[in-house]
Amino acid sequence: MEEKNEKWKVISSEYLHNEPWLTVRKDHVILPNGNHIPAYYILEYPEWVNVIAITREGHFVFIRQYRHGIQEVSYELCAGVCEKEDASPLISAQRELLEETGYGNGTWKEYMVLSPNPSTHTNLTHCFIATDVERLSDQHLEATEDLSVHLLTLQQVKDLLQGDAIKQALMAAPLWKYIAENKLF
C-alpha cells in the first residue's frame, strides 16, 4: 500500500521569473505514489503581515483601496510585506500601520499565522492585534499607494464580515477569530 502524506521529491527546479513582485519556480516532482508532476508551479514571496488595530476609543483602523485582481474597492486591514531591513514581522507590521494610516503605539501581539495558499505560495502571513493605538502622524504613502483611512465601530466591522465585504481571506480569518474569542457575535 502506498504511503500517505509524505513530502514530494523534487528532481529538477527552475525559475521562470525572478522579479520583486513575481517569482515563479517550476518544479518537476515525484509523489510518494510514484506519479510525476513535470511542471508544478510555486510562487515565492517574502513574509507578509497584517494588523487588527484598535484605538483607545474602541474604533477599528481600516483602509479602503482598489484591488486590481478582483477590480473592486474594499475595506481592508492594514497589511504589507516584510522588508529585508525589518528586524521582525512585528517591526514590519508597526512600520506598515504608521506608513499607511499614521497610527502607532499601543500594545501589540502576534495573533495568528496563516498561509495565503500552502500549495502554491512559499510564505506565511503574520497577523497582529494592536490595542490602544493612537494617531501619531499623517499617512506616508508610496507613489503607487492610493488608500484612505477609516475608523469603524465593532458593529460596522461585524456588518462588513457578515456581508462578505471583507473578501481577503488573510483578513477575514483573524477578524472572525477575534469575534469568536471575545464572544462578540
> Would you say 23 or 105 has its CB closer to a second copy?
23
- Of 158, 138, 157, 159, which is closest to residue 148 (Cα–Cα)? 138
The DSSP annotation for 18-78 comes to: EETTEEEEEEEEE-TTS-EEEEEEEE----EEEEEEEETTS-EEEEEEEETTTTEEEEEEE
The span from the CA of 113 to the CA of 101, in Å, is 23
**Subset of 76-95 contacting a second copy (CB under 8 A):** none
Q: Tell me the window of 51-59, 63-71, 83-91, 128-136 that interacts with a second copy (CB under 8 A).
A: 63-71
167 is a site residue for a second copy (CB under 8 A) = yes
Write out the residues near a second copy by the rule CB under 8 A: 2, 4-8, 16-17, 19, 21-22, 24, 27, 29, 31-33, 35, 37, 39-43, 64-74, 112-122, 124-125, 143-144, 146-148, 161, 164, 167-170, 172-173, 176-177, 179-181, 183-185
